[in-house]
Amino acid sequence: MRQSDWESIIRAATDPAARYLESLPDRPVYRPVDAEEIRGIVGGPLPEEGSPPGDVVAGLAGDLDPFIAAHASGRYFGFVNGGLHPAAYGAELLVSTWDQNAALYAAAPGVAVVEDVAAGWLLDLLDLPPDASVGFVTGGQMATFTCLAAARHHVLDEAGWDVEAYGLQGAPVVNIVVKTERHSTVPRALGYLGLGGATAIEVPSDGQSRMDPGALDKVLADLIGPTVICVESGNVNTGSFDPFSAVADAADRHRDRGNPTWVHVDGAVGLWARASADHRHLVEGLERLDSWSVDAHKLLNVTYDSGIAICRHPDAHRAAMGVQASYLAKADGDARDSADWNPEFSRRARGVALYATLRSLGRSGVDDLVARLCLLAGRFADRLEASGRAEVMNDVVFNQVLIRWLADDGDHDALTDRVISCIQADGTAYFGGTTWNGMRLMRISVSDWATDEEDVDRAVEALLSCAG
Ligand SMILES: Cc1ncc(COP(=O)(O)O)c(C=O)c1O
């Protein structure tokens, strides 16, 4: 067998990796940069002659270092980007080393069992039905897609239609019900599935972006036939939670009227509230619904990319995603073929990093992590409100805070945008913006295990100096 100088490749990657990780407390979190500047360093024509792999890796590490946005920094509060849990990082290095195609048990039995164990631990931690099915996917987008594919199968099957065989042409109409402030990945997933994101019926949200259950009842009263309802655990702006028990009651009534019904929960951000004793009350009733999507790369701090699709009805999940071919040696007994539970065929064993993180944190560690992120979000809200320069616009119930910077001239939108640009250029911390209820606001998402009180206070100080 031909061999490479693996030691030198590993050193070429891990020496700069260690320097990068050690620099996180002090390095700028972000620097606005022109793509041309980066292209000038890494671009150019495809080389005619090759280079030694170790040189390529060492060169890449050096070339890109100034342009890496420090998502793993304790002062990165943009989007809902999680940090880097050390156990996930170590496990990912191994997954890259093993280079397993984790589609089938027969091809990669070790990682298949580890992923299966991780799936069981996750259902236990989130207190979801122990016999629910689990698919490991790239993120919330594909988890919602997978769950809605199962939903589409289930409600159409009950209506006597085989959607996998015959598609949607000639199928009974599927009523889709969402709320006005659903995440953009929901209509996108509906679009992938031929269910038309734009034609979904919108139920009004309340002042915290939660679905209005009375309005849901009214919408359902007028619908007949297969129905898929999408709700949310952790809104991307406010961090709020839909009223799950009332939604489950409304769905039961709809079902009792003879309508095949499925309720999906987009829990990319907030399904983790199920694992936190202090936040569990926000997610009561959610276990009565039909499917749940969640991101491990957000609050759990598993390496990118890692999302999970969970379904109460394994038969529907498998009917929507399962794959057969004469050359595929399928698992028997209780072994798991991942290809039957996610849209990919060949795939990375991304559940291994989840396994390592859950094993390292344990049940109490996940509880502490979620609680701490939410406490730090509260600290941001308190400090900024106390400054008199900013107003907290949402009820801070989870890890998300919405801030409006208050301008003396009354143009709060313009000041808010200026503060966001200033802090991004400053590099002490990273925050992004959003438009919510017609206002420009600054989003704070506390999603990194590494964030501590000092990080919050440093970030607040830098923000106040940006606000002038
Ligand atoms: C509520 C919600 N759903 C879905 C997503 C999409 O998740 P992903 O980026 O992992 O696909 C996000 C991303 O922030 C989100 O906040």
Q: Does 143 lie in the same domain as 17? A: no
Q: Does 350 lie in the same domain as 377? A: no
Ligand 1 contact, 187 CB (< 6 A): no
Of 358, 392, 419, which residue sits at a domain end?
A: 358
| 404-441 tens-digit pLDDT | 999 999 999 999 999 999 999 999 999 999 999 999 99
User: Domain for residue 207, yes or no?
Assistant: yes
Ligand 1 contact, 293 CB (< 6 A): no
Of 358, 381, 409, which residue sits at a domain end?
A: 358
| 281-325 tens-digit pLDDT | 999 999 999 999 999 999 999 999 999 999 999 999 999 999 988
Q: What is the mean pLDDT of residues 214-220?
A: 98
Q: Quick one: which atom of ligand 1 is closest to the CA of 235? A: 1
Q: Does 110 lie in the same domain as 157? A: yes
Domain containing residue 445: CATH number: 3.90.1150.10
Q: Does 97 lie in the same domain as 45? A: no
Contact in structure between 224 and 260 (CB atoms under 8 Å): no
Nearest alpha carbon, ligand 1 atom 2: 268
pLDDT at 333 > cutoff 90: no
Specify the pLDDT at position 404.
98
Average pLDDT, the chain: 97
Sign of CA dihedral 411, 417, 420, 425: negative
Q: Quick one: which atom of ligand 1 is closest to the CA of 266? A: 3
CB neighbour list of residue 180: distance below 8 Å, 6 or more residues apart? 202, 203, 204, 205
**Helices (H) and strands (E) in the chain — how many of each?**
14, 11
Q: Does 96 lie in the same domain as 62? A: no
Pocket test for ligand 1, best of 269, 305, 444 (most atoms within 8 A of CB): 269
Q: Quick one: which atom of ligand 1 is closest to the CA of 139? A: 10
Q: Does 432 lie in the same domain as 316? A: no
Q: Does 289 lie in the same domain as 187? A: yes
Domain containing 237: what range?
Answer: 92-358
Specify the pLDDT at position 330.
86
Of 327, 358, 389, which residue sits at a domain end?
A: 358
User: Domain for residue 176, yes or no?
Assistant: yes
Share of the chain above pLDDT 90, in %: 97
**Cα 367 to Cα 278: distance, rounded to the nearest angstrom:** 8
Q: Quick one: which atom of ligand 1 is closest to the CA of 143? A: 11
Pocket test for ligand 1, best of 76, 77, 80, 434 (most atoms within 8 A of CB): 80
Give the dihedral of Cα atoms 435, 439, 442, 448; nearest 10 deg. -50
Sign of CA dihedral 153, 200, 233, 305: positive
Contact in structure between 450 and 24 (CB atoms under 8 Å): yes
Q: Does 34 lie in the same domain as 168? A: no
State the distance from the centre of ligand 1 to the C-alpha of 294, rounded, in angstroms: 8
**Cα 437 to Cα 11: distance, rounded to the nearest angstrom:** 51
User: Domain for residue 277, yes or no?
Assistant: yes
State the distance from the centre of ligand 1 to the C-alpha of 190, rounded, in angstroms: 15
User: Domain for residue 87, yes or no?
Assistant: no
Ligand 1 contact, 268 CB (< 6 A): yes
Q: Does 323 lie in the same domain as 183? A: yes
CB neighbour list of residue 187: distance below 8 Å, 6 or more residues apart? 178, 197, 198, 200
Element containing residue 405 per DSSP (H, E): strand 400-405
pLDDT at 331 > cutoff 90: no
Ligand 1 contact, 307 CB (< 6 A): yes
User: Domain for residue 410, yes or no?
Assistant: yes
Does the reported pTM lie above 0.95?
yes
pLDDT at 453 > cutoff 90: yes
**Cα 47 to Cα 52: distance, rounded to the nearest angstrom:** 13
User: Domain for residue 79, yes or no?
Assistant: no
Q: Does 434 lie in the same domain as 382? A: yes
Contact in structure between 225 and 173 (CB atoms under 8 Å): yes
Q: Does 146 lie in the same domain as 31? A: no
Ligand 1 contact, 266 CB (< 6 A): yes
| 155-210 tens-digit pLDDT | 999 999 999 999 999 999 999 999 999 999 999 999 999 999 889 999 999 999 99
| 359-380 tens-digit pLDDT | 999 999 999 999 999 999 999 9
Q: Does 140 lie in the same domain as 38? A: no
State the distance from the centre of ligand 1 to the C-alpha of 185, rounded, in angstroms: 7
| 8-63 tens-digit pLDDT | 999 999 999 999 999 999 999 999 999 999 999 999 999 999 999 999 999 999 99
| Beta bridge partner(s), residue 233 | 241
Ligand 1 contact, 141 CB (< 6 A): yes
| 110-153 tens-digit pLDDT | 999 999 999 999 999 999 999 999 999 999 999 999 999 999 99
Nearest alpha carbon, ligand 1 atom 3: 268
How many domains is the chain built from?
A: 3
Contact in structure between 72 and 17 (CB atoms under 8 Å): no
User: Domain for residue 217, yes or no?
Assistant: yes
State the distance from the centre of ligand 1 to the C-alpha of 141, rounded, in angstroms: 6
Specify the pLDDT at position 334.
82
Specify the pLDDT at position 197.
83
Ligand 1 contact, 133 CB (< 6 A): no
